[in-house]
Chain A
Amino acid sequence: MPPREGIYGLLAEFNTPSELVHATEQARLAGYRRMECYTPYPVEEAAEALHFHKTRVPLVCLIGGIMGVTTAFLMETWINVWAYPLNIAGRPLFSWPAFIIPAYEWTILFSGLSAAFGMLALNGLPQLYHPVFNAPNFRNGATTDKFFLCLEAVDPMFSPSGTREFLEQFPAISVVEVDH
């Protein structure tokens, strides 16, 4: 865990996604690694500039789906064959084709819930407090029309004055210090 006091990072605000992506690429070239972009809609190019490609959401979803199909099918088999066997018009107790339908539904139920809650868990949400909200200009733009790059203080390259100088070479609207 990073220290909970002092400076969290420097936050640069841009008008356009192109400026943000350019600045992010340059920051990465300069050696910064601990950084994050904040945008009002998904900017894929920013993720590329951050070299963030892989998410584990599909894996979580797959595991959920496998759990769903197994749970439902085994439950149906156990209930209709052992726990409460009923003779329904002479059909076999183990009527697996009929069991497929609820199993199919639970595959979707479990994998859908895993995808949604897995995404939230991997994102660390809900997290109502975050240092970037302390920046005076962040909430005015980050969810509306402005694009932010935050270079974080935990990065070994980070120095309050040097990083500020680095960020000010880009056409940023502002570069502000973010406190914890």
Chain B
Amino acid sequence: MATKGPMQDPIVDPMIDPRTGEYAVIAPGHNFKSVTQKIAGIVLTSNTPLGWFFGLMVAAGVATGVVVGCTWLFLKGVGIWGVTIPGAWGFAIINFVWWIGIGHAGTLISAILLLFKQTWRNSINRFAEAMTIFAVVCAGTFPLIHVGRPWLAYWLFPYPNTMNVWPQFRSPLAWDVFAVSTYATISIVFWYVGMIPDFGTLRDRATMPLAKYMYGMLSLGWRGSTRHWIRYESASLLLAGLSTPLVLSVHTVISFDFAVAALAGWHTTIFPPYFVAGAIYSGFAMVITLAIPIRKFYHLEDLVTLRHLDNMAKVMLGTGLIVAYGYGMEVFMSWYSASHWEYFMMWNRMFGPMGWAYWVLILTNITIPLTTLWSRKLRVNVTYLFILSFIINTGMWFERFVIVVTSLYREYLPSSWGTYRATKWDYMIYVGTMGLFTFLFLLFVRFLPMIPMSEIRMMLPQTKVTPGGSNAETVSQESA
């Protein structure tokens, strides 16, 4: 690990805290007013940057892939995809697991890091939560369109009907409905509750009547009363405490979709922890993919500092190691199980006709990140991290591809062996969801406060309360 460097060197970088040798979480010199102005200004400005319109147009163009692809799918049926027997699960399930995994880092940041009192998370919390919600939107699309007759997807829910037919709760697919719908609901509620005080700030700082009206309605009349704050903090903490087991359970339930099936390569007990770690790994990579351009484009380097990138890279290193352990254990167990089927599955996964996918996965998920993330120099190298985040998410997509496809296309009966080849409609809908995600995210950064102002205020030194009311730091607030 990087032990040399800033600790020994004379400290000249103002971003490095002289006491700890770490990068500061927030650049020095900020006060309540300056952080408010900076964050609210992005939303309340009347000059929308041209780049934003350009990005929105491109994203909307790519998102038409979902519209066109789904229209054709609804007209023709799932036969337009590459799914066949034995490979009945294809891109739809791969993309579903990939997207929902990406969402998990948002909940981890907003909930688990809150419980651990990791205050550095405050800067990235809001847009990580937004990322969660938009990723769940993209994820949720796939099982719905995969059911074959999506207009009957509501049959998945237990509702009284004249057919007297009910769901079957011993099936992991029914568990999935409950897990994902709960996850989407609680994520949206947590996100909205977090924004209420900031909507109050936007309402009070807006000049346009429409903005005043809209943010006023959204703020629910928030006025910052202390009694309200105490209940609000209590509810936030409870939501964080509830989201923590929720986020762990969601990917666990998704891994049950595989692990409960008696298929070689799926039927293992390591799936839940290994899926959750992989989800967080890919989610942090996505947070980095989003955070780096945003902090650059909106000049938020003071609030989303190198410390954040460094910490996120460390989380990726940790979860990446768990994922590596999972891969290693899969290989070990397929040998140690002494099961012919398991043994063949692993051989086929590595050296079969689609073996290249396994080695892409090992290269992008294990070799490249886990050898380089130990270096602090690389962890704070913005360009490197940005590229690495794409590499990791490619790897995580291939992980799901390998799990879904290689176990299915050569299963127990050699007479039913087949192959899997995705069609252009598979690719169109997959790429389309990336456009949809970007589109929603761009709307979010324009119209909603992407950094929680009230939580950033809590991290400033001016919040210190001295007994007796005298405060020598009074002047420090007036500089803005």
Mark A residues whose CB is within 8 Å of B.
15-19, 21-23, 36-47, 50, 52, 55, 57-58, 61, 72, 75-76, 79-80, 83-84, 86, 88, 91, 95, 98-99, 101-102, 104-106, 108-109, 111-113, 115-116, 118-120, 122-123, 125-130, 132-133, 138-140, 142-145, 170-171
Interface stretch among B2-10, B12-20, B198-206?
Answer: B198-206
Contact string against A for B residues 244-261, beta-carbon threshold 8 Å, 1 for contact and 0 otherwise: 011001000100100000
Which of B175, B201, B235 contacts A143, CB < 8 Å? B201
Is B474's CB within 8 Å of the partner chain A?
Answer: yes
Closest 5 CB pairs of A and B: A22-B469, A145-B32, A119-B235, A126-B220, A42-B229
CA distance A92 to B167 in the complex (A): 16
CB–CB B239/A116 < 8 A: yes
Chain B contributes a number of interface residues (CB within 8 A of A) equal to 76
Nearest A residue (CB) for B216: A128
Alpha-carbon separation in the docked complex, A37 to B458 (Å): 17
A30 to chain B, nearest CB (A): 14
A144 touches B242 (CB 8 A): no
Q: Are B186 and A42 touching (Cβ within 8 A)? A: no
Give 1 or 0 for each of B202-241: 1 = CB within 8 Å of chain A CB. 0111000000000011001111111111111111001100
Least Cβ distance of B406 to chain A in Å?
Answer: 26
B170 touches A98 (CB 8 A): yes
Q: Are A127 and B226 in contact (CB under 8 A)?
A: no
Find chain A residues with CB under 8 A from B179 CB.
101, 105
Q: Give the segment of B44-52, B362-370, B418-426, B459-467 that binds chain A.
A: B459-467
Q: Does B36 contact A (CB under 8 A)?
A: yes
Report the Cα distance A72→B458, complex, angstroms: 39
Across the interface, do A79 and B158 meet the contact criterion of CB distance under 8 Å?
Answer: yes
Given A47-B229, A126-B221, A144-B33, are A119 and B193 also a contact pair (CB < 8 Å)?
A: yes
Cα A83 to Cα B234 in complex, Å, equals 40
Across the interface, B242 reaches (CB within 8 A) one of A83, A88, A108, namely A108
B132 to chain A, nearest CB (A): 14
Name the residue in B31, B185, B227 with the highest tally of chain A Cβ atoms < 10 Å from its Cβ. Answer: B227
Within 8 A of A (CB), among B56-106: none
User: Which B residues from 375 to 415 make CB contacts under 8 A with A?
Assistant: none
Q: How far is the CB of B434 from chain A (nearest CB, A)?
A: 28
What are the residues of chain B within 8 A of A86 when measuring CB–CB? 168
Query: B231 near A55 (CB under 8 angstroms)?
Result: yes
The interface residues of chain A lying within 8 Å CB-to-CB of B328 are none
Interface flag for B332 (CB, 8 Å): no
Candidates A43, A91, A130, A143; contact of B170 at CB < 8 Å: A91
In the docked arrangement, what's the CA distance between A118 and B193, Å?
12
Contact A125 B220 (CB under 8 A): yes
Is the pair B175, A119 in contact by a Cβ cutoff of 8 Å? no
Inter-chain CA distance A44–B458, complex, in Å, is 11
Residue numbers in A under 8 Å from B36 (CB-CB)? 40, 144-145
Instruction: Report the Cα distance A137→B246, complex, angstroms.
Output: 43
Contact B233 A42 (CB under 8 A): yes
Chain B 160-202, CB within 8 Å of chain A: the 1/0 string? 0000111111110011001100100110011011001100110
Selected contact of A119 from candidates B165, B186, B221, B231, CB within 8 Å: B231
5 A/B residue pairs, CB under 8 Å, sorted by A: A17-B465, A47-B229, A57-B235, A105-B182, A123-B227
Would A17 and B463 count as touching, CB distance under 8 A?
Answer: yes
Bound CA–CA A32/B193 (angstroms): 32
Query: For residue B462, which residues in chain A have a CB less than 8 angstroms away from its CB?
Result: 16-17
